[in-house]
Amino acid sequence: MDYKNTKAASSTITYNRDKIEAPTENLYEAITILAKRAQQINGDLKSELIDKLEEFATYTDSLDEVFENKEQIEVSKFYEKLPKPTAIAVEEWLEGKIYHRNPEDKE
């Protein structure tokens, strides 16, 4: 998923509880689903960031030497400006992009 082009809010906003609750008819179940999706998004973003930062890695024997790489700083700032994983998860939930099922429900 492309998290860079998401329409999720980058700051805290208030959501309508009824819209969050609507797909499951249970607020706590909806929050649990959102939390699991936010963890998935966070893991994806973290692994992507680590991969990009490893491109700039310089391995030295001395711990005293710290190199500031402008490209590395720009990549880090870009990822800091992205919306939080919870905001992205809520946006996906409200748009109906998250698939969920309850294994206890027998249809």
Coil, strand or helix at 57: coil
| Domain residue spans of the chain | 16-58+66-94
Q: What is the CA radius of gyration of the chain?
A: 19
How confident is residue 107, by pLDDT bands cut at 50, 70 and 90? low
CA 98 – CA 9 distance, rounded (Å): 18
**Which has more pLDDT, 105 or 52?**
52
Per-residue pLDDT, 73: 82
Structure tokens at 38: 């936010």
Per-residue pLDDT, 68: 65
Is residue 37 within a helix (H) or strand (E), and if so which, with residue range?
helix 27-54
Average pLDDT, the chain: 84
Structure tokens at 19: 């819209």
Look at residue 67 and tell me whether its pLDDT is greater than 70: no
Look at residue 96 and tell me whether its pLDDT is greater than 60: yes
Q: Phi first, then psi: give them for residue 21, nearest 5 degrees.
A: -80, -25
